[in-house]
Every structure is written in C-alpha cells, then in structure tokens.
C-alpha cells in the first residue's frame, strides 16, 4: 500500500492522506471527457442542439473545478516536498494547458449553428480530453511513483 503524504512534522495532509487537490481533480477529467462524448453525439445526431447545451455545461463545470484544482495543486506542490518532482510540475503544466484549450473551446461552443461544434469544437474537445487524462496520469505518478497503487 502507498505511504500517506505527510508534512515534515508528521501530520497527515488532506483527507485520508491524499492532498486536497485530489478532491477536485476528477471533476475536470470527467467533464472534459464528457464534453468530447457529447460533441460526438451532436455530430452523429445530425445537429440536435441539446448535445451542444450538454457540452457547454460540462465545459463550464470542468473549467470552474479545474481552476479550483489547479490552485489547490499549486498549494500542494508548495507545501509538500514529496510532490515536488518533474512529474508534479509537468502535471500542473498539463492542467493549465487543458484549461486554456477548453476555455477557447467554451467560446467556440457559444457560437450558433453547426459550426459551434463541428469541426473545431470537436477537435478541441478531443485534444482537451487527451491532455486532461494525461494530466491525471502524471499527477497520480507524481504522488505514488511509477507503478504505484492507490
């Protein structure tokens, strides 16, 4: 079993030994991946506008919780020397890149008509989903090491 992340003084950090950022990081991963899936559904449904609404709300929720998770990640990286590695900082950089891409994607989804999603919105959703999943993997590896367990 993986060791709990602790302060140098020995006190546990976060909930069940996990950094606080771990509470919010799954939300943007799910929301940005879900936005990609709803964009695919929009393209395949022939333009049912409800799928664009789903995508817009998923992008908005992912951005809000992504910013909150990013702030908490920065605090965790500053306070916990165990997380300060190349992987930890790379994970934060990937989160920022994903947030910027999805913010642009959110503005594109605000347009009207078929061009609100196809093709640029769909491509940005796919890129954002891949980046945010890569971020989740890197953040996990920075906390538990390569091949580590939860």
pTM of the full structure = 0.85
Residues 8-43 pLDDT 10s: 444 545 677 677 888 899 999 999 999 999 999 999
Asked if 57 contacts 64 with a C-beta cutoff of 8 angstroms, the reply is no
pLDDT confidence band for 1 (50 / 70 / 90): very low
Q: Is 148 helix (H, G, I), strand (E, B) or coil?
A: coil
- Token duo for residue 18: 């996990």
Mean of pLDDT over the chain:
85
């Amino acid at each position: 079993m993986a060791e709990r992340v602790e302060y140098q003084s020995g006190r546990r950090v976060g909930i069940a030994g996990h950094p606080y950022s771990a509470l919010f990081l799954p939300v943007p991963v799910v929301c940005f991946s879900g936005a990609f899936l709803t964009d695919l559904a929009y393209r395949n449904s022939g333009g049912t506008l409800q799928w664009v609404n789903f995508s817009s709300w998923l992008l908005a929720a992912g951005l809000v919780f992504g910013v909150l998770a990013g702030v908490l990640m920065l605090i965790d990286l500053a306070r916990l020397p165990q997380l300060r590695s190349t992987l930890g900082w790379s994970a934060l950089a990937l989160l920022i890149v994903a947030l910027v891409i999805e913010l642009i994607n959110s503005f594109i989804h605000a347009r009207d008509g078929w061009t609100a999603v196809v093709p640029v919105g769909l491509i940005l959703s796919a890129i954002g989903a891949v980046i945010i999943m890569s971020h989740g993997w890197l953040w996990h590896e920075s906390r538990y090491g390569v091949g580590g367990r939860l």
